[in-house]
Every structure is written in structure tokens, then in C-alpha cells.
């Protein structure tokens, strides 16, 4: 093979996994019951760590040890009020959003979190 062809061929081969990842990361539709606006807000503020599905298995989520909300029983241990508090003030490596989002947006995000999981009922 000629030398001048090596770089384009290598570039093409190395881009295949990247393209495959881009296809997998295609935006998902909002869960049933979620508004498009809240879905977009979640995508901008939460999904980089918690993932579009709430599993926390993104590169950033793994690095920051984001919780897997879909794990059976995980979210049910928290009341909505507690999740609102954690989202507002922050916890561990997660920043607080109290000064960045309105209280209505934070409540909508907590409701959205519950729509992502199979057992979304809050603690009593």
C-alpha cells in the first residue's frame, strides 16, 4: 500500500467505533408522562452523569460514581422532598442547582427521575 493512503485508511478505521458510539447515544424519546421541555432540561443538566436512562453508567457518571436510579428500590428510599433538597443543594460530587434552576424546574426533574425507573413511588 502506498504511504499516502495509510493515514486516510487508519483514520477511517479508527472512526468506526466513534460512529458506533454516536449511534448508541442517539437521543431517546421522553418517558411516558414527561414533557419535552423537562426531557430537554434533563438532557442538559443531568444526563451527562446519570445517563438518558438514569443508570449513571456514562463516562462521567462512572468517574463521579453517579447512582443507578434504575436499581430496584433505589429511588423508593427517598421522598420527593428529599430528592428536591439533594437536587437543590447538591450532594457529594453533584453540584446543587438551586441557583441555576427554578424550583418548578427542580420539581419537574424529580418527577422525571421517577418516570425513568420501574418502581418510581416515593418513600413514605
Predicted TM-score (pTM) of this structure: 0.72
Residue-wise pLDDT tens digits, 68-98: 998 988 989 999 999 999 999 999 889 999 9
Contact 19, 28 (CB under 8 A): no
CATH 3.50.50.60 fits 33-116, yes or no: no
The domain locations on the chain are 33-116
Strand extents, DSSP E, the chain: 90-91, 94-95
Amino acid at each position: 500500500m502506498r504511504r499516502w493512503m495509510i493515514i486516510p485508511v487508519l483514520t477511517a478505521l479508527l472512526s468506526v467505533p466513534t460512529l458506533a458510539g454516536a449511534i448508541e447515544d442517539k437521543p431517546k424519546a421522553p418517558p411516558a408522562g414527561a414533557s419535552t421541555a423537562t426531557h430537554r432540561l434533563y438532557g442538559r443538566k443531568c444526563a451527562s452523569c446519570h445517563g438518558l436512562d438514569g443508570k449513571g453508567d456514562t463516562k462521567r457518571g462512572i468517574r463521579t460514581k453517579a447512582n443507578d436510579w434504575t436499581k430496584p428500590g433505589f429511588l423508593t428510599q427517598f421522598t420527593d422532598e428529599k430528592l428536591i433538597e439533594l437536587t437543590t443543594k447538591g450532594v457529594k460530587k453533584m453540584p446543587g442547582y438551586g441557583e441555576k434552576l427554578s424550583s418548578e424546574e427542580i420539581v419537574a426533574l424529580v418527577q422525571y427521575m421517577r418516570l425513568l425507573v420501574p418502581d418510581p413511588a416515593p418513600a413514605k
